[in-house]
Amino acid sequence: MKLYLKTAGGIGNIRIRGGLDTDDLPPSLAERVRSVLAPRRLDALPRTGDPGQMADGMQYELEVTTGGETRRLLIDESVAPDDLVDTLQDLVREIVRRKKGR
């Protein structure tokens, strides 16, 4: 599974973007990503919430390619399930860690 993730919003509106492949992630994170970002789950997600619903809320632009099919989503953390938000935050941390060379 190949991922491209871009953030918008949050405190200070710090934008982070980067690509990852589940084959290159730590095994526990890769397993969680494959489960949480499974196509059937992505298709059932609400895409955006009310912009005024959560001050300093994050939005994630996510592109997921699996099995030759690519899905592009805009996910608002105010309407996303907790396990999805947690996974997206872990992916952002992984992108930052790699950019810092750690």
The whole domain housing 49 covers 2-99
Tally of structural domains, the chain? 1
**Cα–Cα distance, 35 to 46 (Å, whole number):** 17
Strand partners, 8: 59
E-only strand ranges, 10-99: 17-21, 58-66, 69-76
Write down the pLDDT at residue 54.
Answer: 54
- Provide the pLDDT for residue 44: 85
pLDDT at 19: 97
Q: What pLDDT sits at residue 55?
A: 56
Residue ranges for the chain with pLDDT beneath 50: none
